[in-house]
């Protein structure tokens, strides 16, 4: 058995010394918070987040329209749920726009081409059950999209990844809410056995 000596152990400091941190911080001030340790590609991240922003705008608009137009004897609770989700989608929209801004981009709120930039669709759904179904579909799209993006950003951009992880948790809650509403209004069990 070989014995490991201190010379055999490669030491790797995990923190940059303070002097180097201070010197680096004074360089390239024009890049704001995008420092030399940022491992992502800011331009590519901005382009990706523009699509995510469009998705959240479309979701906010769809939920808002559903909150206003849902009707029927059992629609009041559902309308309230749609309205709450619209506010949460708006908060996601703002967080994403702020991240685009932090990375040096300009958030694209232009309605022209919005649906082309969005992963989600703007589907009216017709009746109350159709609206719930369309919102569940949109949430499932968002969930899969966010999971892919979280894996993509990984450790290259932990701030963007963490923001998306926080949004994902809420989108999963939205999907669960829509699934429960759909089950209640269709008279089916909540979750199918696996």
Q: In a 10 Å sphere around its CB, with 0-12 CB exposed, 13-18 middle and 19+ buried, how is residue 19 labelled?
A: exposed
Looking at the chain, the whole-number percentage of residues with pLDDT higher than 70 is 80
Q: What is the pLDDT of residue 156?
A: 92
pLDDT tens for residues 41-58?
A: 889 999 999 999 999 999
The residues, ordered by sequence, that sit 6+ positions from 24 with a Cβ below 8 Å of its Cβ are 16, 35, 36, 37
Task: Give a yes or no: residue 56 inside a domain.
Answer: yes
Rounded Cα–Cα distance for residues 123 and 6 (Å): 65
For residues 161 and 153, the answer to whether their CB atoms sit within 8 Å is: yes
- Looking at the 3D structure of the chain, how many domains does it have? 1
Structural domain including 51 reads: 38-186
pLDDT tens for residues 133-176?
A: 999 999 999 999 999 999 999 989 999 999 999 999 999 999 99
Q: State the sign of the Cα–Cα–Cα–Cα dihedral 109, 163, 124, 85.
A: negative
Rounded Cα–Cα distance for residues 72 and 193 (Å): 30
For residues 46 and 104, the answer to whether their CB atoms sit within 8 Å is: yes
Task: Give a yes or no: residue 3 inside a domain.
Answer: no
Task: Give a yes or no: residue 27 inside a domain.
Answer: no
Task: Give a yes or no: residue 85 inside a domain.
Answer: yes
* Cα-Cα end-to-end distance for the chain: 50
Task: Give a yes or no: residue 108 inside a domain.
Answer: yes
Q: State the sign of the Cα–Cα–Cα–Cα dihedral 148, 167, 61, 78.
A: positive
Q: What is the pLDDT of residue 194?
A: 47
Task: Give a yes or no: residue 7 inside a domain.
Answer: no
The pTM assigned to this predicted structure is 0.82
Pick from 126, 54, 138, 60: nearest CA to 97: 54
Rounded Cα–Cα distance for residues 130 and 123 (Å): 9
Task: Give a yes or no: residue 45 inside a domain.
Answer: yes
Confidence of residue 111 (pLDDT cuts 50, 70, 90): very high
Rounded Cα–Cα distance for residues 118 and 139 (Å): 13
CATH number, position 139: 1.20.1260.10
Task: Give a yes or no: residue 193 inside a domain.
Answer: no
């Amino acid at each position: 058995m070989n014995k490991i000596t201190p010379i055999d152990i490669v030491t790797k400091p995990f923190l940059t010394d303070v002097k180097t941190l201070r010197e680096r911080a004074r360089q390239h001030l024009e890049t704001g918070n995008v420092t030399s340790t940022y491992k992502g590609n800011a331009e590519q991240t901005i382009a990706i987040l523009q699509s995510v922003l469009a998705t959240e705008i479309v979701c906010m608009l769809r939920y808002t329209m559903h909150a206003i137009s849902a009707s029927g004897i059992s629609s009041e609770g559902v309308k309230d749920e749609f309205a709450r989700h619209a506010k949460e989608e708006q908060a996601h929209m703002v967080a994403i726009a702020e991240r685009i801004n932090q990375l040096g981009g300009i958030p694209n709120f232009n309605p022209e081409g919005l649906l082309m930039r969005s992963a989600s669709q703007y589907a009216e759904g017709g009746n109350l059950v159709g609206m719930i179904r369309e919102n569940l579909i949109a949430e499932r799209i968002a969930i899969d999209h966010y999971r892919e993006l979280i894996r993509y950003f990984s450790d290259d951009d932990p701030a963007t990844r963490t923001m998306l992880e926080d949004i994902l948790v809420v989108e999963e809650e939205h999907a669960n809410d829509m699934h429960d509403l759909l089950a209640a209004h269709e008279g089916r069990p909540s979750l199918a056995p696996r």
